[in-house]
Amino acid sequence: MSLRTKFNNIQLSDTGRVREHNEDAVGTNGDTGLLVLADGMGGYNAGEVASGIAVRTVLELVPQACEREARNATDPETSLMRQTIILRDAIARANRVIHQTAQMQPQCEGMGTTIVACLFYDNRISIAHVGDSRLYRFRRNRFEQLTMDHSLLQELVDRGFYSQEEAARSTNRNYVTRALGVEPTVLVEVQELDVQEGDIYLLCSDGLPDMVEDEDIHLTISTFSANLQMAGQQLIQLSNDHGGKDNVSVILSQVVEPFPAKTSVFAQFRRMFQ
């Protein structure tokens, strides 16, 4: 079943006011309900190579695996677990490809990328991320960050050395402790959450929250919730108006209607006797 009509999706990416080229990469697959955003790092153009590999790999592997899962699935609950595993494994595969490429091509030595991705299935969302690219949710005028940064600053907050308010003012916000391509293997953080009709999900590179306070992001999405394209454009404009020191990319996705998974006759029969 295609999910294309179940969501309104937009994706935007901008170089910013300071950088000479854009090392972010974004991509979506509306049929599968897949959103992915990566923020590359490395000398020369290596950062954009890493982020490009990450997004292309996930966009290629996840739909293929989801299609195989759909053919074999009998239980939506088991399938949801499989969706999360599929997303995690695709990101892990991207890590290996980036690391191998960096080893074989001297101009790509030291390259890496952060990534955040999500996959919608059966009125739920699977979320996976590595690094400090983020995913937020706007629900009934409540705005919250669903991912926690893999960064030195976040670790200091977790250990009580900084408050969230102090962290927001810190100049050392971009030291990530986890990224794709740096090591042969990487720990991908995953979670599964319920989805409600009307939810808006924001995936963004750190170029947005580094330049724009969460309260202003919230206000922008609330104001332009009926026009995601305008909301995305305003978020990028805000980042650039506040200095635009980094590339900034956003993906916005609004849930238009529920998307329950099809349940086989066998699964329905089994549930009657549970």
Instruction: Write the DSSP symbol of residue 97.
Output: H
Q: Check: CB of residue 99 under 8 Å from CB of residue 235.
A: no
Could you give the CA distance from residue 192 to residue 77 in angstroms, rounded to a whole number?
11
- pLDDT for res 81: 77
Q: How confident is the model at residue 73 (pLDDT cuts 50, 70, 90)?
A: low
Give the per-residue pLDDT at 263: 62
User: Taking the model in full, what pTM does it have?
Assistant: 0.90
Q: What is the pLDDT of residue 91?
A: 98
pLDDT of residue 273: 44
User: pLDDT of 224-244, one tens digit each?
Assistant: 999 999 999 999 999 999 999
For the beta carbon of residue 208, count every other beta carbon within 10 angstroms: 25
Query: How does the average pLDDT of the chain come out, rounded?
Result: 89
pLDDT beyond 70 at 254 = yes
Q: What residues does each domain of the chain span?
A: 4-265
Q: What pLDDT is stored for residue 262 in this prediction?
A: 76
Q: Are 75 and 51 in contact (CB under 8 A)?
A: no
Q: How confident is the model at residue 268 (pLDDT cuts 50, 70, 90)?
A: very low
Q: How far is the C-alpha of 225 from the C-alpha of 232, rounded, in Å? A: 10
DSSP 160-200: TSS-HHHHHH-S----BS--BTSSS----EEEEEE--TT-E
Q: What was the pLDDT predicted at 159?
A: 67
User: Which range has the worst mean pLDDT, 143-147, 208-212, 261-265?
Assistant: 261-265
**Within 10 A of 70 (CB to CB), how many other CB atoms are there?**
15
Which among 247, 250, 251, 238 has a CA at the least distance from the CA of 17?
Answer: 247
Question: What is the tens place of the pLDDT at every residue in 148-203?
Answer: 999 877 776 666 656 666 556 555 566 899 999 999 999 999 999 999 999 999 99
**Residue 271: what pLDDT?**
43
CA distances from 221 to 20, 171, 199, 232 (A): 28, 26, 11, 8
Task: Give mean pLDDT, residues 211-236.
Answer: 97
CATH class of the domain whose range is 4-265: alpha beta
pLDDT category at 71 given cuts 50, 70, 90 is: confident
